[in-house]
Amino acid sequence: MSYGIIETLVSELMRLPTIGRKTAQRLAFYILSMPEDEAKSIARAILDVKEKARLCNVCFNISEEETCQLCKDSSRDSSKICVVEEPGNVSVIEKTGLFNGLYHVLHGSLSPIDGITPEKLKLEALSDRVKTDTVSEVILATNPNTKGEMTAQYIANLLRPYKIVVTRIAYGLPMGGDIEFADEVTMGKSFQGRNVI
Amino acid sequence: MLLRTEGIVFKSFPLGEADLILTILSYDGGFLRAFAKSPRTTKSRFGGALEPLSHIRISLMGKEHSDLPRLTQADIIHSYQKLREQFDCFLRISELLEITMSLFGEKEHHEGLFQLLVDTLNYIEAEKESDSLRRFLFYKVRVLEKAGLSPRLQGCARCGISVGTFYFSEGSVICSKCKDTIADDNRTSGARLISMGAVNLYETIRTWSWDKLNRIMPNDKLIFELDSFLNLHIKYRIERGLKTRDFMYKTKTLATSSVNADKNEIV
């Protein structure tokens, strides 16, 4: 058997993040041993995602159509927009089942030291949405780190003229965690954001 | 080899799913780069310790002279969370961090650099925002001196006597008599007239002890003049514009006069 095609597959798989030569070899030989249908199905899924996936023209989430299913869904509350950094964050919030509004994906966060300036994010589109739509609340669900916090502060200032409620997701300790191992910043934030029960 | 030291987190770069590569200014070893495993997960033991500006006690594990040791422990000494929560203030501090990273190479220890930054952050945190403007200027003057790139503002670099115009290419003031000794290309690359008030302020910041600088309360006009001059000098020395400065223009954090001053470098 010629190892040329296997070597090509290994090299191609190594382009993926966190895949080194050993893992790529293991995956290549596994693909070789797979039923043809399954292998074709993987190949088709990769092609489909490259051919059909695009950004929703409203929220900039990944979508197959011009407007994504979430934005099209009339049962969702269009007066609330949840702002997230990456498309992956949408599915995490959707899994909670607690938010029934719309989303806006920024595709990054502000970082002065890395040269990530506001025009590199989908911020103008966000203010356009707030201007035109019947939005009453924008929930800032950027990451709870310095870049995410800075982005949230910038958006809050950007939206101030529109007289809408701008909220930030709560900070604090993760469920299943232990106070003993919490650092002072996280613990301090938990105290600041405490609730009456 | 295990290394234990203190450091200030300057920058982090995401790697893979949840890892980070950190740039830390250490107390005794200059800038270090370290690999941190999974600090971005919600239950990470590092918590908020690896955020920029955090003053932390760290343990690093790796081979001797390793370029990327692994961070095994990070405990917060002081988080400077208050500074991170103020947009404009954090932006200005980011500028200081970028300048420092541009002027000093990795693993180059410079006596007092770490303490200069800690002192500056402590003062900025303790002072009112309007008072802290001078601290950014003090830091820039002092950090240029530590890097050996202080501009010479008193006395012509050639004859040492007369006063004149500052030439960025020479890093010094050159009088009108000695001006012709500068190569044509350098003469046109940028020059600036600096007021005596700014020169005196600069010399005071440079020569007075750090503790005594508390007594100096320069007016905003003087701070602005010296600051915009130093920004141009730094830009010339590091041969590029600062990303943080560009960010300030775009977010309109700087006053219009500041933006114009940064651009207007030719006399």
Q: Do A40 and A85 share a domain, yes or no?
A: no
> Does position B189 have pLDDT exceeding 70, yes or no?
no
Q: Do A161 and A78 share a domain, yes or no?
A: yes
- Has residue A94 been placed in a domain? yes
Q: Would the CB atoms of B250 and A119 count as touching at under 8 Å?
A: yes
- Tens-binned pLDDT, residue by residue, of chain A (197 aa): 556 899 999 999 999 988 899 999 999 999 999 999 999 999 999 999 999 999 999 999 999 989 999 999 999 999 999 999 999 999 999 999 999 999 999 999 999 999 999 999 999 999 999 987 689 999 999 999 999 999 999 999 999 988 899 999 998 888 887 888 888 888 888 898 888 88
What is the predicted ipTM? 0.83
Q: Do A90 and A153 share a domain, yes or no?
A: yes
How far apart (Å, rounded) are the C-alpha atoms in residues A109 and B55?
Answer: 23
- Has residue A61 been placed in a domain? no
A192 contacts in chain B (CB < 8 Å): none
Q: Do A81 and A46 share a domain, yes or no?
A: no
How far apart (Å, rounded) are the C-alpha atoms in residues B94 and B84?
Answer: 10
| CATH number, domain containing residue A33 | 1.10.8.420
Q: Do A15 and A78 share a domain, yes or no?
A: no
Q: Cβ of B206 under 8 Å from any chain A Cβ?
A: no
- Has residue A65 been placed in a domain? no
> Does position B259 have pLDDT exceeding 70, yes or no?
no
Q: Do A80 and A156 share a domain, yes or no?
A: yes
Q: Percentage of chain B with pLDDT > 90?
A: 40
- C-beta separation of A79 from A134 below 8 A: yes
| CATH number, domain containing residue A88 | 3.40.1360.10
Number of structural domains (chain A) is: 2
Q: Residue for token digits 């500068």?
A: B182
- C-beta separation of B217 from B134 below 8 A: yes
Q: Do A153 and A81 share a domain, yes or no?
A: yes
Rounded to the nearest angstrom, the minimum Cα separation between B22 and chain A is: 13
B7-25 b/e (C-beta count within 10 Å ≥ 16 → b): bbbbbbeeeeeebbebbbb
Q: Cβ of B84 under 8 Å from any chain A Cβ?
A: yes
Q: Do A148 and A118 share a domain, yes or no?
A: yes
What is the average per-residue pLDDT within B186-201? 82
Of the residues A178, A183, A190, A191, the best mutation for testing chain B's interface (the one with the most B CB atoms within 10 Å of its CB) is: A183
Q: Do A16 and A87 share a domain, yes or no?
A: no
- Has residue A122 been placed in a domain? yes
pLDDT computed for residue B1 by the predictor: 67
Q: Which amino acid is at A72?
A: K
Q: Cβ of A96 under 8 Å from any chain B Cβ?
A: no
Q: Cβ of A17 under 8 Å from any chain B Cβ?
A: yes
Q: Cβ of B98 under 8 Å from any chain A Cβ?
A: yes
Q: Do A157 and A83 share a domain, yes or no?
A: yes
A117 contacts in chain B (CB < 8 Å): 246-247, 250-251
Q: Do A48 and A78 share a domain, yes or no?
A: no
Of the residues B17, B19, B51, B253, the best mutation for testing chain A's interface (the one with the most A CB atoms within 10 Å of its CB) is: B51
Range of the domain at A34: 3-52
Q: Which of A91-105, B93-107, B178-192, B248-262 has the lowest mean pLDDT?
A: B248-262
Structure tokens at B44: 């990470």
- Has residue A115 been placed in a domain? yes
Quick: pLDDT tens for B114-156: 999 999 999 999 887 777 888 999 999 999 999 999 998 888 8
Q: Give the angle subtended at the CA of A158 by the CAs of A156 and A164, to the nearest 5°.
A: 60
Q: Do A102 and A164 share a domain, yes or no?
A: yes
Q: Give the angle subtended at the CA of B90 by the CAs of B255 and B168, to the nearest 5°.
A: 55
Where do the domains of chain B lie, and which CATH numbers do they carry?
2-79 (2.40.50.140), 83-153+194-258 (1.20.1440)
- Has residue A38 been placed in a domain? yes
- Has residue A96 been placed in a domain? yes
Greatest extent of chain B over all pairs of C-alpha atoms, in Å: 67
Structure tokens at A69: 């299913």
- Has residue A173 been placed in a domain? no
pLDDT computed for residue A117 by the predictor: 92
Q: Would the CB atoms of A117 and B42 count as touching at under 8 Å?
A: no
Per-residue CA distances from A14 to A9, A39, A96 (Å): 9, 18, 34
Greatest extent of chain A over all pairs of C-alpha atoms, in Å: 70
Rounded to the nearest angstrom, the minimum Cα separation between A143 and chain B is: 10
B128-150 b/e (C-beta count within 10 Å ≥ 16 → b): eeeebbbbbbbbbbbbbbbbeeb
